[in-house]
Amino acid sequence: EPEVTQTPSHQVTQMGQEVILRCVPISNHLYFYWYRQILGQKVEFLVSFYNNEISEKSEIFDDQFSVERPDGSNFTLKIRSTKLEDSAMYFCASSDGQNTDTQYFGPGTRLTVL
C-alpha cells in the first residue's frame, strides 16, 4: 500500500537557523498538507497546497513558514528562522481530493530547536 514518507525523522537545529522538512506524498494525490503537534498538545493544521499554490493556511503559518513542491514528488516545509516554540512533531499528509477525502499521514519529523 502506498505511503506518505517524511525525512528526516528527527531534526535538531539552533534557534535562528533555517530548516527544511521534506515529504513525499502518495504519487497520485493532488492535495498536500502540513500539520504540527507540540508535545502534549493537539495536532494543528498549518497549511494545505493544491495546484502549486497554498489553498488554506492557519494563523500559525506566518511569514517564517513557506511550502514548495520543487519537483513532481517532493513537498517541503521551510522554517526560515526557527524559534524555540517551533519545536514539535511535523506531519505531512496528502489526499486525492478535497474535504470528502481521507488524508493519509506520514510518520512525522520531530523538530527540536535549541
Partner 1 sequence: AQSVSQHNHHVILSEAASLELGCNYSYGGTVNLFWYVQYPGQHLQLLLKYFSGDPLVKGIKGFEAEFIKSKFSFNLRKPSVQWSDTAEYFCAVTTNTGNQFYFGTGTSLTVIP
Site residues (CB under 8 A) for partner 1?
4, 31, 33, 35, 41-45, 48, 55-56, 58, 91, 93, 95, 98-100, 102-108
Q: What's the min distance (Å) between Cβ of 96 and partner 1?
A: 12
CB-nearer residue toward partner 1: 19 or 61? 61
111 by Cβ neighbours in 10 Å (0-12 / 13-18 / 19+) ranks as: buried
- The sign of the dihedral angle between the CA atoms of 41, 33, 96, 25 is negative
Q: What's the min distance (Å) between Cβ of 82 and partner 1?
A: 23
Say how many C-beta atoms besides its own lie within 10 A of residue 106's C-beta: 24
